């Protein structure tokens, strides 16, 4: 497993990150450190710093999707051929995260994974679940329903300056905690959680750790076995450079018997007489019906593309640019929501202007970032989220900082 993961990593992360940190300020708008900008034609038309919303897809994924459509028009693939492509995607994804193929299933959406985990556990009144206020908005809904149906207590860790530390979580976790749930990287502040530390905390109290990995996977190298995370799910339309309708779901091997599928269908390991069946004993048991087969062609191309670049090189480029963005915004006097020294490609800052006014400036400058509402605000303050990907360069960071000056009014 370790040998196969090296293909996804590339050069050592420490060396590459150091190089990016030292050289970021000296790059020009024409720089292409990873030699990939030709694969993203949209970069010629506007400044795209919004992969945390919906990522651009490289040309190889466009080609794979085109080939799929052409095949459907001229000679439809059989299920066997499509299942083989799904198998290839599973192999590549398992290799990417350091998991066994038996631990990976493909769901339809990220939120589905957390629902499966929650619905598999036998909650009792008085149990509690712990998450922070940096999670994606579906997580509190899942646990609010659990509170109403099972009498489970919701414990919410309040972020401090955009971060949630293991120590903050430790104040809320106890012997009745069943799940600690986090967004591996927050979609609001960009904070990257200490997953290994949280796993150790959860396990020391007999709880499980669930992670929404939608804003993390594809941005950095990872070994889920070493981190000891119990479950995660991710989408594929952000940093994994593919489409909608697929969500890789990881269940730690030791917990596969504990977590059960909510549905069953024709996709079983073996059909037996009298409508009996033998279900898969691995994560494939969560795949009960025909998936979005066409998306596997694009996903396989995307995962192969990421492997060719190397995740440690990708992390160095993304994080190096994000740190340059954060420093530049701080120097300009903006209030930052992203913690200093953060290891993710997301930077959020506050602008004291109406959302429509901010968006008008960004549109006029052909700048693609996310403008988010701020809870509790009267609408006069918004949060702007910037998310540089590996195809971005420091010239675009400079351009972002020029546009940010205009947002100050």
SS (H, E, C) 257-326: CCCCCCCCCCCCCEECCCCCEECCCCHHHHCCCCCCHHHHHHHHHHHHHHHHHCHHHHHHHHHHHHHHHH
For 222-254, b where at least 16 C-beta lie within 10 A, e where not — what string? bebeebebbbbbbbbbbbbbbbebbbbbbbbee
Looking at residue 29, its pLDDT comes to 39
Can you tell me the distance from the alpha carbon of 405 to that of 219, in angstroms, rounded to the nearest whole number? 28
Can you tell me the distance from the alpha carbon of 385 to that of 45, in angstroms, rounded to the nearest whole number? 20
Looking at residue 7, its pLDDT comes to 59
Cβ neighbours of 386 (radius 10 Å): 29
**Model confidence, pTM:** 0.91
H or E element that contains 177: strand 177-183
CATH architecture of 63-307: 3-Layer(aba) Sandwich (3.40)
| CA 196 from centroid of its chain's CA atoms | 17
pLDDT of the chain, 409 residues: tens digit per residue: 444 545 565 543 443 444 334 333 333 435 899 999 999 999 999 999 999 999 999 999 999 999 999 988 988 788 889 899 999 999 999 999 999 999 999 999 999 999 999 999 999 999 999 999 999 999 999 999 999 999 999 999 999 999 999 999 999 999 999 999 999 999 999 999 999 999 999 999 999 999 999 999 999 999 999 999 999 999 999 999 999 999 999 999 999 999 999 888 877 766 778 877 778 889 999 998 888 999 999 999 999 999 999 999 999 999 999 999 999 999 999 999 999 999 999 999 999 999 999 999 999 999 999 999 888 777 889 999 999 999 999 999 999 999 999 998 6
Return the closest-CA partner of residue 155 out of 116, 205, 112, 110.
205
Can you tell me the distance from the alpha carbon of 199 to that of 196, in angstroms, rounded to the nearest whole number? 5
Strands of the 347-351 sheet, one edge to the other: 335-336, 347-351, 382-386, 370-373
Report helix, strand or coil for 370: strand
Please, which residues bridge with residue 131 across strands?
156, 181
CA-to-CA separations, 93 to 60, 237, 285, 309, 344, in angstroms, rounded: 17, 14, 17, 15, 20
383: tokens are 């949060």
CATH number of the domain at 2-57+310-407, please?
3.90.1150.10
Q: 143 CB contacts (<8 Å, ≥6 apart)?
A: 118, 129, 131, 152, 154, 181
Looking at residue 8, its pLDDT comes to 64
H or E element that contains 209: strand 208-212
360: tokens are 């008008």
Can you tell me the distance from the alpha carbon of 187 to that of 139, in angstroms, rounded to the nearest whole number? 13
Where do the structural domains in the chain lie, given as residue ranges? 2-57+310-407, 63-307
Can you tell me the distance from the alpha carbon of 190 to that of 183, in angstroms, rounded to the nearest whole number? 9
């Amino acid at each position: 497993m370790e040998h196969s993961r090296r293909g996804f990593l590339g050069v050592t992360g420490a060396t590459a990150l150091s190089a990016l940190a030292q050289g970021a300020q000296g790059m020009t708008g024409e720089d292409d450190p990873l030699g990939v900008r030709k694969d993203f034609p949209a970069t010629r038309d506007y400044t795209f710093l919004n992969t945390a919303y919906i990522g651009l897809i490289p040309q190889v994924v466009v080609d794979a999707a085109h080939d799929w459509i052409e095949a459907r028009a001229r000679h439809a693939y059989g299920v066997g051929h499509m299942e083989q492509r799904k198998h290839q995607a599973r192999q590549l994804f398992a290799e990417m995260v350091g998991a066994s193929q038996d631990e990976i299933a493909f769901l339809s959406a990220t939120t589905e994974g957390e629902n499966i985990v929650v619905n598999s556990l036998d909650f009792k009144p008085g149990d509690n679940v712990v998450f922070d206020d940096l999670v994606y908005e579906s997580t509190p809904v899942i646990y609010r329903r659990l509170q109403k149906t099972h009498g489970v207590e919701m414990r919410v860790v309040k972020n401090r300056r955009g971060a949630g530390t293991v120590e903050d979580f430790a104040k809320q976790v106890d012997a009745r905690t069943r799940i600690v749930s986090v967004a591996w990287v927050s979609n609001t502040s960009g904070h990257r959680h200490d997953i290994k530390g949280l796993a150790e905390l959860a396990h020391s109290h007999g709880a499980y750790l669930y992670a929404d990995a939608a804003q993390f996977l594809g941005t950095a190298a990872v070994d889920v076995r070493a981190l000891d995370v119990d479950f995660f799910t991710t989408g594929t339309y952000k940093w994994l450079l593919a489409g909608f309708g697929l969500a890789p779901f990881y269940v730690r091997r030791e917990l596969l018997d504990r977590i059960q599928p909510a549905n069953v269908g024709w996709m079983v390991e073996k059909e037996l007489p009298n409508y009996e069946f033998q279900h898969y004993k691995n994560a494939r048991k969560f795949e009960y019906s025909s998936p979005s087969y066409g998306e596997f062609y694009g996903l396989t191309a995307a995962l192969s593309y990421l492997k060719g670049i190397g995740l440690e090189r990708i992390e160095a480029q993304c994080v190096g640019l994000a740190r340059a963005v954060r420093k530049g915004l701080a120097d300009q006097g903006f209030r930052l929501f992203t913690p200093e020294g953060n290891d993710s490609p997301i930077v959020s800052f506050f602008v004291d202007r109406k959302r429509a006014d901010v968006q008008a400036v960004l549109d006029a400058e052909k700048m693609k970032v996310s403008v988010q509402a701020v809870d509790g605000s009267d609408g006069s303050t918004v949060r702007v989220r910037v998310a540089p990907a590996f195809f971005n360069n420091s010239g675009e960071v400079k351009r972002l900082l020029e546009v940010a000056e205009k947002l100050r009014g």
